[in-house]
Amino acid sequence: MFKLTYRQLRFDPGRSALTCLGIAAVFAVILLLQGFQQGLNTQLGSVALARGADLIGTQAGVRNIIGARSVIPQMARGQVETVPGVRIAHPMTAIPLIYEKQGRKSAVFLFVIDSAGGPAEAEVEAGRLLAGEGEILIDHSIAQLHDLAPEDDFVVAGYGFRIVGVIEPTSALWTPFTFSNYDSLIEFYFESSLADDLSAFPLLSYLLIDLEPGVDPVALAARIEQAVPDVDVFLPAELARADEELGQTMLGAVLTLLIGVAYAAGMIVIALFMFTAAEARRRDLGILKALGFDDRTILTSIMVEVGLLMVFAIPLGIALAHLTTAIARAAMPIYLIQPTVLGPLLLAIASCTLFALLGALGPWRLIRRLEPSQVFRS
């Protein structure tokens, strides 16, 4: 039956190819929308995970890095470092800013770092890491958008940072990251147009806490919170989940609706493709019936046809999704699309296969009632 069905598909290669391509295109669209949602979650989660700390301290009551303002008292760093089990607490400040060049504005996150929390040398695409005052690292996407390169000025609120490096795309909520140091932060605060309202901007937002070897991070987090009430302490994975949940709260409903619409429309289109293909083969299936094949064999033939088409359409759809992702990433690196995360990928494969099967079985009642003699009438 497999060979027979395969030969029938090869008998009209144009129709088979168009059906396969149509299913692949619908499948690719679903993967792209799911991949956009997965990429958003990955970017949000990586904000905390990429800081490289064993624990992260925030302002008491704050449990997010993205979308939340955290201000920790300066003296809290020393207090945290006196807690047994803490090796060092690295300071980090996060400031949302607006960068403008030639009338084009972009929101950016400025992360001010000291001895930890910044990008690794391997993440630098051009230039070098921070070394002195007035320097800044910028994300690839903002460098591309505003045509910036190392040694260019990066003017924010009237203060000119000097770009020393461009790093790999690093962003969250479609806002690129920049990195500077504390010497630059103090100079920026007092020389920029923000100087009139410094109270609105923090000097210390987070503490990146490294532990002594063998210390239980959960137990130590509880001890730090008890010793320093101004600070809440989290595992990086906890903050990552909280940032992902924030993203779901802000955008989850919209993205879920878009994916749901894509599934609904896509499944209908796939079912119609397969219904049309099966209807076009109704005469061929009737000939099989006239030759003595029973209903079970003909039904098996239809299911084998669906299987063969999906075997070609799914890899083609994945390839189309990856090709589109590469094009989108090159044009708009601020967006991360992950079209082949295992769970959503399996869901898309199962859904597309199910609706392809339902569409192919659409004409089944007509085929069952078809009299063998009718297929030979002109």
Whole-number pLDDT of residue 301 = 72
- Tell me the C-alpha distance between 70 and 226, whole Å: 19
Which residues lie below 8 Å from residue 136, measured CB to CB, with a gap of 6+?
110, 130, 154, 161, 162, 163, 164, 178, 179, 180, 184
Whole-number pLDDT of residue 187 = 87
Determine, yes or no, domain membership for 209. no
Q: Kindly report the backbone phi and psi dihedral angles of residue 130, in degrees, each rounded to the nearest multiple of 5, phi listed first.
A: -65, 145
Best-predicted range by mean pLDDT among 139-153, 190-204, 302-316? 139-153
Give the pLDDT band of residue 373 (cuts 50, 70, 90): low
Determine, yes or no, domain membership for 63. no
Determine the structural domain holding residue 156 and report its residue range.
90-203
Of 171, 203, 235, the domain-final residue: 203
Of 168, 203, 238, the domain-final residue: 203
- Let me know: does 78 contact 255? Beta carbons within 8 Å: no
Which residues lie below 8 Å from residue 257, measured CB to CB, with a gap of 6+?
none
CB atoms inside a 10 Å sphere around CB 320? 19
Q: Are residues 180 and 101 in the same domain?
A: yes
| pTM of the complete model | 0.83
Q: Are residues 39 and 157 in the same domain?
A: no
Q: Are residues 291 and 361 in the same domain?
A: yes
Q: Are residues 256 and 365 in the same domain?
A: yes
How confident is the model over 76-116, as pLDDT tens digits? 999 999 999 999 999 999 999 999 998 899 999 999 999 99
Determine, yes or no, domain membership for 301. yes
Q: What is the mean pLDDT of residues 332-341?
A: 92
Rg of the chain taking only CA atoms, in angstroms: 29
Give the pLDDT band of residue 271 (cuts 50, 70, 90): confident
Q: Are residues 319 and 256 in the same domain?
A: yes
Least confident of 6-10, 12-16, 159-163, 332-336: 6-10
Whole-number pLDDT of residue 328 = 92
Whole-number pLDDT of residue 305 = 75
Give the pLDDT band of residue 198 (cuts 50, 70, 90): low
Q: Strand 206-211 vs strand 171-172: parallel, antiparallel, or unpaired?
A: unpaired
Q: Are residues 104 and 23 in the same domain?
A: no
Of the CA atoms within 13 Å of residue 87, those in its CB half-sphere come to 12
Of 139, 168, 203, the domain-final residue: 203
Q: Are residues 35 and 100 in the same domain?
A: no
- Let me know: does 89 contact 199? Beta carbons within 8 Å: no
- Tell me the C-alpha distance between 306 and 361, whole Å: 10
Q: Are residues 276 and 199 in the same domain?
A: no
Q: What is the mean pLDDT of residues 166-194?
A: 89
How confident is the model over 208-259, as pLDDT tens digits? 999 999 999 999 999 999 999 999 999 999 999 999 999 988 888 898 899 9
Q: Are residues 198 and 252 in the same domain?
A: no
Determine, yes or no, domain membership for 242. no
> Total domain count for the chain?
2
Q: Are residues 255 and 355 in the same domain?
A: yes
Determine, yes or no, domain membership for 219. no
Nearest CA-CA partner of 143 in 128, 157, 154, 129: 154
Q: Are residues 265 and 372 in the same domain?
A: yes
Q: What is the 3-state secondary structure (H, E, C) of 168-208?
A: CCCEECCEEEEEEEHHHHHHHHHHCHHHHHHHHCCCCCEEE
Q: Are residues 255 and 322 in the same domain?
A: yes
- Tell me the C-alpha distance between 202 and 52, whole Å: 22
How confident is the model over 28-77, as pLDDT tens digits? 999 999 999 999 999 999 999 999 999 999 999 999 998 888 999 999 99
